[in-house]
Amino acid sequence: MAASAVAGNQLPGTGETVADDKRVVVLVSGHGSNLQALLDAAAEPGSGMAVVLVGADRPGAHGLERARRAGVDTAVVRPADHPDRRSFDLALRDLVAAARPDVVCLAGFMRILGPSFVRAFPDRILNTHPSLLPAFRGAHAVGEALDYGVKLTGCTVHLVDEEVDHGPVLFQAAVPVEPGDDEDRLHERIKAEEHRLLPLAVRLVAEGRVRVEGRRARVLTEEVSR
Ligand code: GRF
């Protein structure tokens, strides 16, 4: 972890703490464009949320660099440093819990998190997936949708439960497949939708405005949630 302790919410790049901001922890494995959308949303005046920690499973994840640039604490927990999946989950759980998150966001985090992690943050972990779930779960969703020949795909922002790409759906956006699309081109248009929906979902969960009823995630109106 970066030298400074994760003590309070920080205005990006300033180190200034804002006591009432909702605390967001983001986990990444790669490029981090979804993380960037969250950092940008949190940096808006009056956003009411702060990214307090960015964790990664590998030191080379570009998302870590984005976090550092925004003045956010970073940490790396590598599976190779742990004897089995459970101890990796526990190490990550302890790291994330120490940051006292209101919401944990998986933003291109390419590890499956087991029950020891998921149960520590009930209905407070969000994931974004580049398909219209339940179609095309797993790590190759965009390529598989293209190979299948679908005309419409998209993204799903959902709460995380103990099954992969499975928890209650919060938002989905459809993205038409265009003639001549390759995986990268299609994925870029899907990501544009993720960048729009993920900050919205993170804010709603952080503010306690999402009620989970079985498979359904319901957004509470302001009057009801008060
Ligand atoms: C996103 O499309 C996300 O849905 C998937 O991986 C991609 C991550 O992109 N799980 P980025 O690292 O946020 O740019």
pLDDT above 90 (res 9)? no
Residue among 26, 31, 33, 34 whose CB has most ligand 1 atoms within 8 A, to mutate: 34
Q: Which protein residues are within 6 Å of ligand 1, measured from CB?
A: 30-34, 107-108, 128-130, 191, 194
Confidence (pTM):
0.91
- For the CA of 187, the nearest atom of ligand 1: 2
Q: Is 76 left (phi over 0), alpha (psi -120 to 50) or beta?
A: beta
The dihedral over CA atoms of 120, 16, 60, 192, expressed in degrees to the nearest 10, equals 80
Q: How far is the CA of 193 from the centre of ligand 1 (A)?
A: 11
Q: What is the pLDDT of residues 10-58, one digit of tens each?
A: 555 554 546 789 999 999 999 999 999 999 999 999 999 999 999 999 9
Closest ligand 1 atom, residue 110 Cα? 10
- When pLDDT is cut at 50, 70 and 90, the band that residue 221 belongs to is confident
The pLDDT assigned to 15 comes to: 45
Q: What is the mean pLDDT of the chain?
A: 92
* pLDDT at 145 exceeding the cut of 70: yes
High-pLDDT (> 90) share of the chain, %: 88
Max CA-CA distance within the chain? 50
* Structure confidence by residue, pLDDT tens digits, 158-204: 999 999 999 999 999 999 999 999 999 999 999 999 999 999 999 99
Query: What is the phi/psi pair of residue 49, to 5°?
Result: -140, 155
Nearest of 162, 156, 159 to residue 215 by alpha carbon: 159
